[in-house]
Structures are given as structure tokens and as C-alpha cells.
Amino acid sequence: MEKTGITIYGCEKDEAEMFRRYSPRYGVEPTIIKSVVSAETAALASGNCCISVNHKTEIDLSTLRALKENGVAYISTRSIGCNHIDIKAAEKLGITIGNVAYSPASVADYTLMLILMSIRNAKSVLCRADVHDYKLCAVPGRELRDMTVGVLGTGRIGQAVIDRLNGFGCRILSYNLDPQAKAEYVTLGELLRQSDILTLHMPLNADTYHILDRKRIQSMKHGAFVINTARGSLIDTEALIRALENGRLGGAALDVVEGEEGIFYHDCTNKPIHNQLLLRLQKLPNAIITPHTAFYTEHALQDIVENTIQNCLEFERGKR
């Protein structure tokens, strides 16, 4: 039987190993390319109508046109979000876009870790321990059972976070544009006013861009914590920094930051970083920053690889 070819762009070593491991089970021949997709690398997809891309690369009109010229009809992004792809341009060119679902437990577990690190002053504790300062923090930590957690977005990941929070005995409030989960829903205004911790789990689109803006940050409970493992641009970062600096907010733990592209997933040890918002955040004692790594577990990677392959095979079958 003839194998289906898939060109896989921007493939890291761990992903490449999994694609090589699982592709034969599905009768797929992967062409694994380390470089990211672009107008210049589009010709590498020639012969395969299906390609896979990562979530780190912006795919604009020029790249889409080049892919179309090389016979690409389907793009499967190895992410849930598609905001890095010009969807309207793809539609006009007749290119279908697909995303993948993966274990929500990966991001949910990480979210709980960031919540606990925030309310227990983990950044201060670890930094001081590194220089052999073992005194107790000036301010004691807090316990989740005494707090109200607001979950902004109750899709698969938001629901998984709620499931985990239930075991801590805290009060849980939720807000979603389309309430469907088993949760205590309130208005967005009430969520902000009542939550000691606000955790974000919404997709990024025109409706949710800067959903946490200056005005909404000002309406939050004094001393509240903000956790974001979704997309950086859900938050007006400048407004967040000001609220952290002046004590309006108690802290923030961010796995995603506006303008992270070209910085996160790269070794910038000896390179200049021009994202001033990121640099300001990292200097704050009450801000924890991690490089968009919440999804990164073995289980999630397996889900991403297998679902990518299945997406492409389903498109091929439909095309035939």
C-alpha cells in the first residue's frame, strides 16, 4: 500500500523521534524538517499536500501563497490555538487549517503548580536559597482552602483545572463566553471582584485580546494573583506590570507573555532581548515567568504527534 507523505516543519528532536516512532503504525512517510515553515522553505513540501507546523511561527499570506504553489492543501498546526496563522488568507487560497487536541492534564497540572508557587512566595524562597539565605519569608504564604479562585475560560483545560482545584477545598468561580461546564458561573465583573486568584484559559481572538485590560485589572480584588498559561495577549502586559509594581496585585505567574515570539524556545543567554515588557516582568520579585512550557509532557507530545498524523490522513481520505 502506498504511504501518505507528510512534511513536518519546525520539528524539534523529541518531536522528530515520536514522528518516526508512530508514523509506520499509520502507513505514513514523514519528511522531517528542522527549519520552520516560510516562503523560502515552502518548496520542501513539494509532493505532499499535507504539512504540519508548530505554534511558534507566524504563517502569513506570502508563506501561504508559496505553500499553495507547491501543492499544499492542508496545514495541521501542532497546537490548539490557530492565532499564528492567517486563517482568512488560507480560506481564500483554498488551504484547510486543522489543529490538534492533546492532554489537558499537562497544562492543568502546570497551572496548579504556578498557583501554589505564587501563593507560597516560591520565587523569593528559591532565589534566597540559591545564595544560602535560609530565613523565612517576610510575609507568610497562603492556603488555597482560604481563597477564591476565578477560572476565566472553561474549555477542556479550564475544566481540568477546576477538577484539580476541587481537591484543595477552595471556592471556585468561573466565567466563559459560552457557559457549558459544571461550574459556578458569574459575570466577568463579579469574577474579577471576588477572586483571590485569577487563572486564564481562553483562546486568543478578536473578542479576547486584552480581555484583562487596565480597567479590569483595576477592578480586581486588592492583592489578587494572576496566572496565565493560555496566550500572552489575553493580558495588557503594561497595565499588569504597573499593578504589580504599585501593589495593586499580589503577584503573577505567566507561562506566556506578549511578544514572546523569537525569544521563548531559544537560548538567549548571550543575546540581547528587546522585549522590554518581559525584562521588566522578570525583575519583579512578585512575578514568575516560564517560557511557554506548560504543555510540554511526554503524554501531550504523543497526543500531538498521533493527532497530527490522524488529521492529515482524514484530510487525504476526504480529498479522495
Domains of the chain: 4-102+298-319 (3.40.50.720), 104-289 (3.40.50.720)
Residue 167: strand, helix, or coil: helix
CA-wise closest residue to 233 among 115, 86, 112, 81: 81
In 10 A of CB 244, how many CB atoms? 21
| Phi, psi (degrees; rounded to nearest 5) at 227 | -120, 130
pLDDT at 128: 93
Which amino acid makes up residue 60?
A: D
Per residue in 273-295, pLDDT (tens digit) is 999 999 999 999 999 999 999 99
Q: Residue 147 has what DSSP assignment?
A: S
Per residue in 16-32, pLDDT (tens digit) is 999 999 999 999 999 99
Q: Residue 248 has what DSSP assignment?
A: S
pLDDT at 222: 97
Which amino acid makes up residue 87?
A: I
The percentage of residues in the chain with a pLDDT greater than 70, rounded to a whole number, is 99
The percentage of residues in the chain with a pLDDT greater than 90, rounded to a whole number, is 88
The mean pLDDT of 23-45, rounded to a whole number, is 94
pLDDT at 248: 96
Give the chain's length: 320
- Does position 205 have pLDDT exceeding 70, yes or no? yes
10: alpha, beta or left? (left if phi > 0; alpha if psi -120 to 50): left
Quick one: pLDDT band at residue 57, thresholds 50, 70, 90? confident
pLDDT at 178: 83
Map grid coordinates 505514513 to a residue: 28
Residues annotated as part of the active site: 231, 260, 292
Per the CB < 8 A criterion, the answer to whether 250 and 288 are in contact is no
- Does position 38 have pLDDT exceeding 80, yes or no? yes
* Sequential DSSP letters for 39-76: TTTGGGGTT-SEEEE-TTS-B-HHHHHHHHHTT--EEE
pLDDT at 2: 65
- Does position 320 have pLDDT exceeding 60, yes or no? no
Q: Mean of the per-residue pLDDT values for the chain? A: 94
Per residue in 78-131, pLDDT (tens digit) is 998 888 999 999 999 999 999 998 989 999 999 999 999 999 999 999 999 999
pLDDT at 319: 65
